[in-house]
Amino acid sequence: MIKSDRQTLLRLLTATVLSSTWSPKQLQELAIDLLTDKTLGPDLGALIQAMVNILDVPTPDKISLQRRDQSPFFDLAYEAVQRRRVSKRVIIERMRQASPSYMAPEKLADVSVRDLLLSFFARTAKDDANRLLKLLGVSSDDDPYLSGITDRR
């Protein structure tokens, strides 16, 4: 883990624990457990790993698999975004407009535009994908292949 990520994680965990409703005694017990219990770290790691799998958070290996099986919408969207030099923030705004339930990553600096689009198209319905294309100024009506995909239900 990168040193800055580790510091950020430590601050986040500390802030979360301190903002909890735990008593000072419970906080002291937690501190002692963290210092002495050798199973707490692996248990926490296993829990986080399980949650990542349950929530289907894109990881680098999952994203590389998605690249092999790209959505037909991806190439058009990526080309439009690159051609118009659309910022990540604008892309995420459009993604939220197209699919209000879309959860964008918190740290935009860590995610490339390519990965943002891949993740969006892998997780959303074809109607939402088509809506995003229209919001980005790309019409699937111009492409018979894509219009056939969007018309299929």
What's the mean pLDDT in 97-105? 79
Cβ–Cβ < 8 Å for 104, 96? yes
Q: Which of 105, 96, 104 is nearest to 131 (CA)?
A: 96
Q: What does the pLDDT read at residue 68?
A: 42
- The helices-and-strands tally (H runs, E runs) of the chain is 9, 0
pLDDT tens for 37-84 read 888 888 888 887 777 666 655 555 555 544 444 567 788 888 889 988
CA distances 65 to 24, 60, 69, 120, 126, Å, are 47, 9, 7, 14, 19
For 68, other C-beta atoms within 10 Å of its C-beta total: 6
pLDDT above 90 as % of the chain:
6
**Model confidence at 106: pLDDT above 70:** no
Percentage of the chain modeled with pLDDT above 70: 73
